[in-house]
């Protein structure tokens, strides 16, 4: 299916999206794209998200790298471990690991780096665990996360979390953020029995849609916020809309089938999706 990319300066977003599509129907070469300074919209076809956005009723949030600034901890410990093998950790490998269940990303790590003869996925997980356990309780929020979550909750929009993180890590990461996470209707974890496979499988998102009041909620009424390529693909595999907030170091060729790509959650405009508008400025 042909994919057309439309994008424009964030300052233009105050007007209805349909007007912008009429006014800004052009695309630029990839080399001119600057992901941290522009907002991107990808349209699968002309009858796609523009009309459907008005029907969004439920929101699913990823956690690591989206609500919480925890991806940096994984990066740091993986760099430390690879240095022992005189190897470096790069963002092409990071992109393959992020968002996945720990057992799945551990296998990718040892195989892609060619160290599987020296370090099994199980030993890798044991080695990084003591470092991660010290780091996770210091987790901080990503920009705009608290503002958006509090806004949607205050307006009565059902929200939840769908993460690849397992129960023990979830508890450590959210230690300082219990009140914010209590606003979620539910949380689906990577070690949930219903999540047979991690992202990009749709399992975690379909389980999340099932557990809302009145669920299962029709996937085309749901937006998923994600930072990882596997998460975006998982949301699309579940038939949902995907708003991607990628790290600036992630290559734009890996944005995949995201319906919207934002520099930060601070750039999200709820009105574009038929959600209640903000009444104040994000802090």
List the interface residues with ligand G3P, window 15-54 (CB under 6 A).
Answer: none
The CA distance from 264 to 84, in Å, is: 34
165 binds, among Mg ion, ligand G3P, none (CB under 5 to 8 A by kind): ligand G3P
Active-site residue flag, 203: no
Q: What is the CA 210 to chain-centroid distance, rounded?
A: 19
Output the smallest distance, CB 170 to ligand G3P, in A.
Answer: 9
Output the smallest distance, CB 39 to ligand G3P, in A.
Answer: 22
Which one, 74 or 89, has the nearer CB to ligand G3P?
Answer: 74
The CA distance from 200 to 204, in Å, is: 9
Residues that bind Mg ion (CB under 5 A): 62, 64-66, 99, 227-228
Which one, 43 or 171, has the nearer CB to Mg ion?
Answer: 171
Half-sphere exposure of 240 (CA within 13 A, CB side): 36
Output the smallest distance, CB 225 to Mg ion, in A.
Answer: 9
Task: Verify binding: residue 188, ligand G3P, rule CB under 6 A.
Answer: no
Task: Verify binding: residue 228, ligand G3P, rule CB under 6 A.
Answer: yes
Task: Verify binding: residue 99, ligand G3P, rule CB under 6 A.
Answer: yes
Output the smallest distance, CB 42 to ligand G3P, in A.
Answer: 21
Phi, psi angle pair for 26, to nearest 5°:
-145, 160
Active-site residue flag, 123: no
Burial of residue 193 (CB within 10 Å: 0-12, 13-18, 19+) is: exposed
Site string for ligand G3P, 50-89 (x = CB under 6 A): ------------xxxx--------x---------------
Task: Verify binding: residue 219, ligand G3P, rule CB under 6 A.
Answer: no
163 binds, among ligand G3P, Mg ion, none (CB under 5 to 8 A by kind): ligand G3P
158, 164, 246, 256: which one contacts ligand G3P (CB under 6 A)? Answer: 164
Site size toward ligand G3P, by CB under 6 A: 12
Half-sphere exposure of 90 (CA within 13 A, CB side): 6
Task: Verify binding: residue 237, ligand G3P, rule CB under 6 A.
Answer: no
Question: Of 25-33, 151-159, 161-169, 273-281, which part binds ligand G3P (CB under 6 A)?
Answer: 161-169
CB within 8 Å of 170: residues ≥ 6 apart: 63, 163, 187, 189
Q: What's the token pair of residue 161? A: 């979390």
Which one, 82 or 230, has the nearer CB to Mg ion?
Answer: 230
Output the smallest distance, CB 99 to ligand G3P, in A.
Answer: 4
Catalytic residue among 62, 192, 203, 259: 62
Catalytic residues: 62, 64
Q: Which positions touch ligand G3P (CB under 6 A)? A: 62-65, 74, 98-99, 163-165, 228, 231
């Amino acid at each position: 299916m042909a994919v057309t990319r439309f994008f424009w300066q964030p300052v233009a977003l105050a007007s209805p999206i349909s007007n912008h599509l009429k006014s800004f129907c052009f695309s630029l070469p990839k080399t001119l794209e600057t992901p941290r300074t522009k907002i991107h919209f990808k349209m699968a076809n002309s009858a796609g998200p523009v009309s459907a956005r008005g029907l969004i009723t439920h929101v699913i949030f990823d956690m690591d790298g989206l609500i919480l600034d925890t991806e940096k901890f994984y990066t740091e410990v993986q760099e430390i471990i690879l240095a022992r093998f005189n190897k470096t950790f790069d963002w092409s490998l990071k992109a393959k690991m992020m968002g996945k269940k720990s057992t799945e990303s551990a296998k990718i790590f040892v195989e892609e780096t060619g160290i599987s003869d020296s370090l099994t996925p199980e030993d890798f997980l044991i080695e990084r665990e003591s470092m991660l356990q010290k780091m996770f309780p210091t987790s901080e929020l990503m920009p705009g996360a608290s503002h958006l979550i509090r806004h949607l909750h205050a307006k009565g929009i059902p929200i939840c979390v769908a993460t690849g993180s397992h129960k023990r890590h979830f508890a450590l990461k959210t230690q300082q953020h219990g009140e914010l996470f209590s606003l979620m209707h539910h949380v689906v974890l990577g070690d949930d029995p219903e999540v047979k496979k991690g992202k990009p499988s749709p399992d975690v998102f379909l389980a999340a849609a099932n557990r809302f009041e009145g669920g299962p909620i029709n996937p085309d009424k749901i937006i998923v916020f994600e930072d990882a390529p596997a998460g975006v693909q998982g949301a699309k595999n579940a038939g949902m809309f995907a708003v991607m907030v990628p790290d600036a170091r992630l290559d734009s060729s890996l944005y995949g089938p995201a319906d919207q790509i934002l520099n930060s959650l601070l750039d999200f405009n709820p009105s574009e999706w038929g959600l209640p508008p903000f009444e104040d400025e994000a802090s």
